[in-house]
Structure 1
Amino acid sequence: MTLAASELTITEIIVPASLDDAEAADFLAAAELNNAVCLADSGLDDFARTAAEMLPLWKDRTDDVHHGFIARSGDGILGAVILHAGVAEPTSVEVDLMVLPEHWSTGVGQALLDHAELQARELNRRVLQAWTLHPADAGGGPLVPRTGWGRISSSPHAELLQRNGFLLEQVERSSGFDLLADLGPVERMLGDALAAAGPDYRLIEWTLPTPPELRDGYAWALSRMSTDVPSSDLDIDEESWDAARIARRDARFIGGGQTMSVSAVEHVPTGTLAAFNELVIGEDRTGVTHQYCTLVLKEHRGHRLGQIVKCANILRWRGIAPASPMISTFNAEENRPMLDINEAMGFAPRAYVGAWQKRLE
């Protein structure tokens, strides 16, 4: 049953100073809703995040801003939408729409999407980008992105985006790696890759915070995530990173109770960080590990550096979070070089994500 506009209220989520504050209720509710929606959409609990992990990202508005809104009918929460935009990146805004299956028929998804578009215009953004989560089995009537790589199942969320002028630009694969399995094959792959790379490349590893002497090089490598990763026709602004931004990012992870391990490869002749891989876990060391950024700079590809950083970090991770059962990671379906490494290591598909875009007039 579709609700009338008068039956629906949309209010902005207050960013609390701490999760113990009386005004933290909506922020906590949004975090809980996010996890419930991810579980409902994928059938997996791989993507759960705690409010404690999220809060530092929302409080520090130096590099990124978050605006959240909750939709209610009476006292009941029907859905929420979160907008995320980079401060120095002026083009796009990410729209994270969260509605449980039982509430799609109420029209709350459309109301929240309309509200998000208005907010995006107020932020002077000309591009909306959204992501939909889907089970591994695409089922009947699969949707194919404009890249032609991969497919996702249809869903109320995807259908809503289509009706509102969004185009499916890309499909990403969510893969899982069994951390409790024998790591002998990973050790052998690391040895082979190190031998192939040769003496011009040196493995460097650290746990956040990033050592001061590595921040500039790490900043340059992270900035290349916006230019060197397959992104279809998504409008991605080139990001600007420096040592201070690295320090702020580190502080947000640590402030949320998270631990990150970084494995990187230095190009010895130039001192450039040519490749890196990040693994992250929350305070619960028995939970799922998340692989964040992985990149080999374009000019250093062909030396098996991606294999080095991924294998080395997994082996290092066993000593950091030995009880974590799995690594969860995302890769564009057209990124065959990285998927080839993942598959050889033992990563297997678990879910898929559709990347959608709408250019505002």
Structure 2
Amino acid sequence: MTIAELTISPLTVPAALDADDAADFRAYGELNRQICDEQVGIPDLAPDAAQMLPGWQDDTDSLDLGFVARDGADIVGMVTVSFAQEADANAAEVDLLVSDAHWGRGIEDALLARAESEARSRGRSVLQIWSLHRPEETSRMLVPRTRWGRIPATPLSDLLDAHGFTLEQVERNSEFDLRADPAPLEAALAEATQAAGPDYRVVEWLLPTPPELRSGYAAVLARLSTDAPSGDMDFVAEVWDADRVARRDARLTGAGQTVSVVAVEHVPTGDIVAYNELVIGAERTGVTHQFGTLVSKDHRGHRLGMIVKCANLLRWRELVPDATVVSTFNAEENRPMLDINEAIGFRPVSYAGAWQKKL
């Protein structure tokens, strides 16, 4: 195949996965998992098509576009581009999906160029993309601009470097064995609760979020975009309210996913000041994903991160007894959160590189 024979067309977003026009979207879900398997041996890092579809159908908060590369009738790669919808958002988030079998034929270059063209046409001045890496030392290790962490070079990292991207940050992907003895979690939770004192209390729920908690939850979700360590990645300050929480809840539960939230309320003010989310697909087996975890800056130092993590892990064992592991990503410079993870038994299984290009 030559690049002249390559065709790139928009990814159709179907009304349902069994619709007549849903084949490409189902292929997108399969390719997403295949790439994670090839790159780090963990296909469950990627959501499947059913989990992704509700988000693609609702562009209120984020607009998702996809492009499919074909050699004749055969799909040989895809690229997706996501646009945050805040008025002052500068960045477009890219995910490049080309399997090992098709890498090196120019497909990845053509898809990356298509994504950049789409970002420029929509007025974005920054491209962002994440690469996955095995936890190994090789002859070429890459260090991000934060100087925290290092990752082995891969064909994708070489491509990004050649196209003018800069490695800004390294994130650690860690897993927790849900079948392990819960006693250390229980002890850590009791100790952290005593240290926090009576000004803080635990609140927990399953999505959808109860209406009376949506505004408070919105406030702490908004802080994730500004309070979490992100190096020099250009992240917009997200705007959240109760309606956006309800929309997000609908997207997450629309595919039958179960989502547990454990939060901490600051009793004197009634504010939600810390939270942790655990998510699993409709089958309720296998890998659980930790989504957001945050302690508001004004309330750090009270062991609240330990409280929300341990309380939700213990709760999860009862809610979803067939789940096996919890997977989470944390910036390498986020030592307070990594210290908690390491203390309660999370272990590193892969890494991610956060790359950025100024257009």
Indicate the TM-score class for this superposition, using the shorter chain for normalisation: over 0.9
Aligned-residue offset at 1:102: 1.9
Q: 1:321 and 1:65 mapped to 2: Cα distance?
A: 32
Residue-by-residue CA offset, 1:141-172 (whole Å, 9 max, x unaligned): 11110111111111111101000100000000
Determine the structure 2 residue equivalent to 1:82. Answer: 80
Structure 2, unmatched stretches of 5+, are none
Would you say the 8 A contact 1:46–1:328 is kept in 2? no
Give the letter for the 1:257 counterpart.
Answer: G
**Any residues of structure 2 matched to 1:1-361 within 5 Å, and which?**
3-88=1-86, 90-360=89-359
Would you say the 8 A contact 1:129–1:358 is kept in 2? yes
Q: RMSD across aligned C-alpha pairs, in angstroms? A: 0.8
TM-score by length of 1: 0.98
Give the letter for the 1:106 counterpart.
Answer: R
Give the letter for the 2:164 counterpart.
Answer: G
Q: How many residue pairs end up in the alignment?
A: 358
Q: 2:12 and 2:122 mapped to 1: Cα distance?
A: 18
Residue-by-residue CA offset, 1:210-248 (whole Å, 9 max, x unaligned): 011110010000000011000000011111100000000
C-alpha change, 1:354 and 1:138, in structure 2 (3 Å) is farther
Structure 1, 103-112 or 133-142: larger mean CA deviation: 133-142
Give the letter for the 1:79 counterpart.
Answer: G
TM-score by length of 2: 0.98
Would you say the 8 A contact 1:35–1:47 is kept in 2? yes
Shift >4 Å, 4+ stretches = none
Q: 1:77 and 1:19 mapped to 2: Cα distance?
A: 18
Aligned-residue offset at 1:44: 1.8
Structure 1, unmatched stretches of 5+, are none
Q: 1:44 and 1:244 mapped to 2: Cα distance?
A: 34
Residue-by-residue CA offset, 1:42-79 (whole Å, 9 max, x unaligned): 01233132211110000011111100011111122111
Would you say the 8 A contact 2:148–2:332 is kept in 1? yes
SS in 2 for 1:85: strand
Q: Percent identity?
A: 58
Give the letter for the 1:178 counterpart.
Answer: D
Q: 1:336 and 1:127 mapped to 2: Cα distance?
A: 27
Residue-by-residue CA offset, 1:233-270 (whole Å, 9 max, x unaligned): 00111111000000000001111111100000000011
Would you say the 8 A contact 2:33–2:44 is kept in 1? no
Residue-by-residue CA offset, 1:71-91 (whole Å, 9 max, x unaligned): 111122111000111111521
